Amino acid sequence: MTEALIGFLAIFGLALLRFPLAFSMGLVGLVGIGVTRGWVPAFSSIAQVVYETGFAYTLSVIPLFILMGNFVARAGLAHELFHAAYTFIGHRRGGLAHATIAACAGFGAICGSSIATAATMSKVAYPSMKKLGYSDALSTGVIAAGGTLGIMIPPSTIMVIYGIITETHIGEMFVAGILPGLVAVLMLCLAVVFVTWRDPEAGPPAERRNWHERLLALRSIWAVALLFALVIGGIYGGVFTATEGAGVGAAGAFLFALARRTLTPKVLSEILVESARTTAMLFTILIGAMIFTNFINFTSMPTDLRDWVVGIAPSPIVVILLMMAIYLALGMVMEELAIVLLTIPVFFPIVTGLGFDPVWFGILIITVVEIGMISPPVGLNLFVINSLLKDVKLGTIYKGVWPFVIADVIRLGVLIAVPGLALWLPQLMRG
């Protein structure tokens, strides 16, 4: 127990010194194993982790989904998704905000990244809302919150990382995220309704579009719907695995972008380089996390902590509530991926030991990560939007995002109270 606590403190200390997270976890894990088990086992463990991670078939899903998202993003799909949603609901009060949420959900379904979704929609949705007279608080708040849908609605890189670390079926994680993703869309829309009810001037209605314009807008997004149905439907139906689905999705996105004539040699090169860079970053972080996880597993911390938590908690569900409270608190001051990688080795054995479904717990983790990405003062999506929209003050973004944070906390409570929202589709998938 003591060794593990020292390890965590060492990582936090290195983080304060701006040392990269991946190397912090790898270094602390190496030293920890070396001190407790010997240096030969330590270096052998690192070599094994690097080799197995680099050659793991299941991990190929990461670069493939990243590649799929980059192809789709460059094809100009985000503009068309927003336009389609805008033609249907833009005439309502707060309609453009609702359209932004719908577009974020659609883009997130084929992107898998919260940051990419928020950054893209900042360029697509904000100018339209600004032109119509929407308040900066509502505009930036809804973009930041909508961006988080990129990691809940499958495919999701965070889901893949969780599945790999915990050895949870990635296909089941993807399927489990569908209904909670729809609940997330509903809760964010209700938050928009609340904001515009309090201040109608924050989200004035736009011009009503006729059905001819709406049908034309729908025609432009058929390929997205087809791509999502092909990937997720194929995984759910057992036609192919999550890794095979990623390959199908990447190939489909490539053909989609090619058909639109958006793939010049320069653009293709940029997509491949960007995908490779993102993949390398995630793999480095993952390797560091797995080295640190091995160190934690060598200590008595998981067992000791489980016994302590079980001893003070009157029921297993209280344990889950305590964990979620810890995640929410950490999400306000730490980067979300770091939180997941540092806490999973400790919390996951406790959760499984209490008999909870790892898929359900994974969805809860994704939800608190979403909340952390928009929680001041260290919400990553907030800083992404602030860097892209330089005329909007960070304080304004903080003010605008709070109704959506509250909506997400309520959603977390619903998912805890009704596990079936996350488990119904995976159970059908299992047969």
Give the 3-state DSSP-derived string for 311-322, with helices as H, strands as E and coil as C: HHCCCHHHHHHH
CA–CA separation, 143 and 97 (whole Å): 8
* pLDDT value for 306: 67
Q: Which two tokens stand for residue 314?
A: 């009157």
Low-confidence ranges of the chain (pLDDT < 70): 1, 302, 305-306, 309-310, 313-314, 333-335, 378, 431
Is residue 400 within 8 Å of residue 392, measured between CB atoms? no
Domain boundaries, the chain: 60-430
Contact between 176 and 423 under an 8 Å Cβ cutoff? The reply is: yes
Q: 10 Å Cβ neighbour count for 251?
A: 14
| Among the listed residues 34, 28, 31, 26, the one whose alpha carbon sits nearest the alpha carbon of residue 9 | 28
Residue 313, pLDDT score = 63
* Secondary structure of 243-265 in HEC code, one letter for each residue: HHHHHHHHHHHHHHHHHCCCCCH
Task: State the amino acid at position 275 in one-letter form.
Answer: S
Which pair of tokens denotes residue 269?
Answer: 């090169």
In 167-264, alpha helices (H): 170-176, 178-198, 211-219, 222-236, 242-259
User: Please, are residues 165 and 289 in contact by the beta-carbon 8 Å criterion?
Assistant: yes
Q: In the numeric block, which tokens belong to residue 358?
A: 């790892």
What does the pLDDT look like over 50-101, one tens digit per residue? 888 777 777 787 888 888 878 877 777 778 888 888 888 888 889 999 999 9
Cβ atoms 250, 68 nearer than 8 A: yes
Helix and strand numbers (H, E) in the chain are: 24, 0
pLDDT for residue 365: 92
- pTM score, whole prediction: 0.84
pLDDT tens by residue, 307-334: 776 677 668 888 888 889 888 887 776 6
